DNA sequence: CGTATTTCAGCTTCACTGATATAC
DNA sequence: CGTATATCAGTGGAGCTGAAATAC
């Protein structure tokens, strides 16, 4: 082993996009691991949180709100339903739709996941002070919203 | 279509990790597209920039410096060599190693890529002022370095 | 008819693992 | 012998596409 220092080439060091991707990967991994110990993944958490926040919805509606692809939503809901965390039933008013609903078990599960995520996130962002984290979040929100259409 | 608003469930809204991942994906996509118009990808740029910054190196050395997996390095270098941007030759002092070296064409290519990336990045981070971008970068660096071992 | 919903099958890219041959 | 290097084959997740069946 000869080269293992942390120096980065000048041209690379200037790439905020690369840095952003690296940090996002680290943080994502950390939070995904926390969810995985509870048998869940990020999509499932997003679905549960959205059902909790907005009430029952169709799969297509959930896809739009969570930005999860309709195709991946099928898989996420299959897992959640098998675990008894949600129930799906055909909408009587529009029989194309499945109305997805949180169960009590799902709500309890969500509480566990949220607690685990809060902790994992506190760890991941530990190097930042509270106000710095607020600043970071505000900047990220502006990047997401203003530049929403890529 | 019934649900298409941008509201996000409270539990999701608090997940800075999710926001970070979303923004990283957007920015990565934007910069990757810029590179792709020039026939390159992020790994290839990282390799060229590292060779430019540190001079010739073995594939394993490049892997360590760029954090690109040894396996993906093979593919990146194969592309770069086929394009004439780098040359590989067995190290006479240690015949396990390939010494990878930038060519003049590779250096010219790198200049083009860097210019394209700078522009793409300016667009991606346009909503932020210069000092805000500096703040963001500083925070990301701290997250990467202090929390380097996940 | 066109459109929306759900589902399935498959693709691409990315990060990574495992095994191999070779050389130190 | 153990370790490092380069290479290849393959895995697994994530994001996405296309087409089908069904219902509006």
* pLDDT tens profile A84-112: 999 999 999 999 999 999 999 999 999 99
Interface test with B, best of A15, A20, A65 (most B CBs within 10 A): A20
Q: Tell me which residue of B63, B69, B32 sits closest to B50, measured CA to CA.
A: B63
Instruction: Kindly list the residues from chain A whose CB atom is less than 8 angstroms away from the CB atom of residue B64.
Output: 1, 3-4
Give dist(CA A135, CA B65) in Å, integer.
30
- What is the SS3 assignment for B14? coil
Q: Which two tokens stand for residue B121?
A: 């990045």
Q: A89 pairs with which residues across the strands?
A: A99
Phi and psi angles of residue B87, each rounded to the nearest 5 degrees, phi first: -125, 145
- B1: nearest nucleotide, CA–C1' criterion: C4
- B41: nearest nucleotide, CA–C1' criterion: C13
Alpha helices per DSSP H over B37-84: 42-54, 59-66, 70-82
Q: Would you place residue B5 in the very low, low, confident or very high pLDDT band (cuts 50, 70, 90)?
A: very low
Q: Which residues of B97-127 are buried (b: 16+ CB within 10 A; e: fewer)?
A: bbbbebbeebeebbeebbebbeebbeebbee
Beta carbons of A103 and A86 less than 8 angstroms apart: yes
Instruction: Kindly list the residues from chain B whose CB atom is less than 8 angstroms away from the CB atom of residue A27.
Output: 17, 20-21, 143
Averaged confidence pLDDT in chain A: 91
Mean pLDDT of B78-84: 95
Mean pLDDT of A68-77: 97
Mean pLDDT of B46-57: 96
Give dist(CA A126, CA B10) in Å, integer.
22
Give dist(CA B86, CA A74) in Å, integer.
45
Instruction: Kindly list the residues from chain A whose CB atom is less than 8 angstroms away from the CB atom of residue B53.
Output: 8-12
Q: pLDDT tens across B92-126, in order?
A: 999 999 999 999 999 999 999 999 999 999 999 99
| Residue of chain A nearest B20, judged by CA positions | A24
Is the CB of A2 less than 7 A from some atom of nucleic acid strand D? yes
| Residue of chain A nearest B62, judged by CA positions | A3
What is the predicted pLDDT for the residue at A5?
Answer: 45
**For chain B, how big is the Rg over CA atoms in Å?**
19
């Amino acid at each position: 082993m000869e080269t293992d220092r942390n120096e980065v080439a000048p041209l690379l060091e200037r790439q905020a996009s690369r840095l952003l991707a690296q940090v996002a990967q680290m943080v994502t991994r950390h939070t995904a691991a926390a969810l995985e110990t509870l048998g869940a993944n990020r999509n499932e958490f997003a679905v549960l949180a959205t059902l909790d926040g907005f009430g029952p919805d169709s799969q297509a509606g959930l896809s739009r709100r969570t930005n999860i692809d309709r195709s991946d939503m099928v898989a996420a809901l299959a897992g959640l339903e098998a675990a008894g965390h949600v129930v799906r039933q055909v909408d009587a008013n529009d029989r194309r739709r499945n109305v997805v609903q949180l169960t009590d078990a799902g709500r309890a599960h969500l509480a566990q996941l949220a607690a685990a995520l809060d902790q994992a996130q506190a760890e991941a962002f530990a190097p930042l002070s509270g106000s710095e984290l607020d600043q970071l979040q505000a900047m990220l929100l502006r990047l997401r919203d203003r530049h929403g259409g890529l």
